[in-house]
Amino acid sequence: MRDTFQKELINISKKNKNLMLLTADLGFGVFDEFEKKFPKKYLNVGVAEQNLIGVSTGLAMNGKIVIAYSIANFLTLRCLEQIRNDAVYHNLNINLVSSGGGYTYGVLGMSHHATEDLSVLNCIPGIIIVAPSTKWETKEALKKLLKIKGTTYLRLEKNASNLIPKDAVYSLGNLNNYSKGSKLAIICVGGIFSECIAAVEILKKKKTNISLYTLSSLKPIDEIKLIKTIKRYRVIITVEENNFLGGLGSTIASIITKYSIKCIHKIVSTNDKTLKIVGDQEFLRKQLGMDANSLVSKVESLIKKF
C-alpha cells in the first residue's frame, strides 16, 4: 500500500501546486523520490506528532492541501486533541495518512499496535475515514480524498492485494465486490482483506461460494445501498483488524438495527482485547482467530445453522 500511495502521490503532485507532504521523522526510503522531485513540498517535523498537526493546520489555513504522514497509533491517539480541535473543527484540507494499520508493526509490541484508530476517529463528527484493502483502492481513495474539502484519514498497511473489484468503480461509502456467492457475505475493511480472500478461495475448493465485499469508507456510509446488499444474505460477517467497538462491526450492527434487517451478524475483530504478546501480523491474527483458516471454520459453522 505504501509504495502505491507514494507513486500516486508523485503523479498527483506534478499537477497540484498546493500539495504539501509532512512527516514525523518517517518514510525514509519510501519518500526519497518524492523529496528529490519536490523538495519544497516536503517537510519533516521530527518526532513530534502533535506538532505535525499544528504545522499542518497553519499550512492548510494558508491554502495548502496537506498530507500528514505517521505511524497509525501515533498519528491518531497521540494527536487526537489536535485533530479534533485544529483540523476537523476548522474543516481544513488536512489528509491524515497512517502507516502500519492493525498489527502491521506487531513485532514492536503493543505500543505500535493500531487497533483503536478507526474507532476513535469514528467518534469525531465531520471526518472521513478510509481503510483500503487493495492497491487499486489505495490509489482511488487517495485521488478522491485529496479533492475533498475537509479532514480525512487514510489507513495504510505494508502489503496489499493486486485484485480489482468486479465493477471497478470507486465511491466513498459504497461496497466493492470481490467475490459473488449466496446466503453468506463477508464485509471487511483494511489489509485483513488478504485473510478474507484466502478464506473465500479455500471455501471455493470445498464447493462453498460466498460473497466478499470491502467497504470503501467507514465514514461516510451510503446506508441505503448498504442495506440493499445486506438484505440479499441470511448471514453477514464483518471482519476488521480493529476493535469492533466504534469500528466496522458496531457500525454495521447499528445500521442493521436501525432498518430492522433480519439477518445473522457475526463480528470478527480484535474483540476488545489488548495483545500483550509480541509477534508478526500473521502470528497475531491467528491468536485472535482472524486468519484465513479460522474464518473458514467460522463460515462453515454458521452455514450449518441454516
CATH of the domain at 71: 3.40.50.970
Burial (Cβ within 10 Å: 0-12, 13-18, ≥19) of residue 173 = middle
Asked if 87 and 142 sit in the same domain, the reply is: yes
Separation CA 188–CA 123 (nearest Å): 19
The residue range of the domain holding 95 is 2-156
Residue 164 lies in a domain: no
Asked if 181 and 88 sit in the same domain, the reply is: no
Asked if 53 and 112 sit in the same domain, the reply is: yes
Separation CA 44–CA 303 (nearest Å): 51
Model pLDDT, residue 236: 97
187-206: b (≥16 Cβ within 10 Å) or e: bbbbbbbbbbbbbbeebeee
Asked if 295 and 217 sit in the same domain, the reply is: yes
Residue 229 lies in a domain: yes
Separation CA 31–CA 44 (nearest Å): 11
Model pLDDT, residue 26: 80
Model pLDDT, residue 2: 81
Closest CA to 114 of 157, 148, 174, 65: 157
Asked if 190 and 238 sit in the same domain, the reply is: yes
Query: Are the beta carbons of 244 and 267 closer than 8 angstroms?
Result: yes
Domain count, the chain: 2
Separation CA 38–CA 236 (nearest Å): 46
Residue 168 lies in a domain: no
Model pLDDT, residue 27: 67
Q: Is the pTM of this model over 0.85?
A: yes
pLDDT along the chain (306 residues), means of 10: 88 93 83 92 94 97 96 96 97 96 94 96 97 96 95 92 90 96 95 97 96 98 97 97 97 97 96 94 96 97 85
Here the CATH number for the domain that contains residue 235 is: 3.40.50.920
| Segment holding 214, helix H or strand E | strand 211-215
